[in-house]
Amino acid sequence: MKRKLVAIIFVVFMLTSSLAILVANWGSDAWEDGSIDSIRGALNMTPQDVSFVRYIDVQKMHNTPLGEASAGAIPPDSLYNAEITEMCVVWFEDGTWVEFHQTATAPRIGSIDFIDYLGHEVLIRDVDGTRVACVLGSPNIYGPLENVKKVLDVMEGNASSAKDDFAILEKARPAEFERLSVEDFADYFYLNFHQLESGRYQSIRIYQNPSVDKVTNVTKLAETAPSRGLTYNIGQDEDCMIVTIIGEFDAVISERF
């Protein structure tokens, strides 16, 4: 049952049927060393109107329970013919998406078509009626063509990024797994998971302007936490309720939002 809950938490919002299409050979000239490092780092390159973001440090989570649980959310290495070390998927209010991927070595991919946009070489092809595009860089940008263009607009200074749209991130602590979303129980909700040196796990949940019902529910969960092997710490910072939960992995990952 716990593993089923894990699967629900890490449900994959990406178009998995399209992940294997960009396979061939590509030179390494476009690749540079770099990192997206967190949700905040990805939002620096992301256009506005974001509704959901998920960041995964694949390399840091390797051979851990958290890495095993989130494996289904990570594209196969065949996408770039290189090991993916970090990734961030962003969903927008209109239901479209874009992804950022960091690889350990230079990616080697190809496509049936290319365009130039703002001096960037964009490889593209049609997938189920959607023009899927990829731009190699640090990180690599992947998604529907129009959204990839919007990311390049932000990177070239022609459009505003989403980095200042989420004041909640000022209270967040980057971790190997992060999630940010718009919810009906709060204006914004931030969640992370981090493995402590002891091997136990810590999860920080931040609710900006939470509903009365959510505050009541979290308080009740805190009261019964010891029976589930968990410790809770609930604090308030301006309009945010900040909840820190510590315990064994299965208990922490199964705890309700």
Q: What is the pLDDT of residue 110?
A: 63
How much is the average pLDDT of 67-77? 92
Backbone dihedral angles phi then psi of residue 2, each to the nearest 5 degrees: -65, -40
DSSP β-bridge partners for residue 179? 54, 191
Identify whether the C-beta of residue 80 lies closer than 8 Å to the C-beta of residue 137: no
pLDDT-based confidence at residue 31 (cuts at 50, 70, 90): very low
Q: What is the pLDDT of residue 9?
A: 37
Q: 91-100, 126-135, 164-173, 246-255: which has the minimum mean pLDDT?
A: 126-135
Maximum average pLDDT range among 95-109, 130-144, 217-231: 217-231
Q: What is the pLDDT of residue 6?
A: 40
Contacts of residues 165-171 at CB distance under 8 Å and 24 or more positions apart, as own/partner, are 165/43, 165/48, 165/50, 166/43, 166/50, 167/208, 168/206, 168/208, 168/240, 169/39, 169/40, 169/43, 171/206, 171/237, 171/240, 171/242
The contacts of residue 130 (CB under 8 Å, 6+ apart) are 15, 18, 144
DSSP β-bridge partners for residue 88? 55, 100
pLDDT-based confidence at residue 90 (cuts at 50, 70, 90): very high
Share of the chain above pLDDT 90, in %: 73
The whole-model pTM stands at 0.85
What CA–CA distance (Å, rounded) separates 28 from 91?
29
How much is the average pLDDT of 119-133? 82
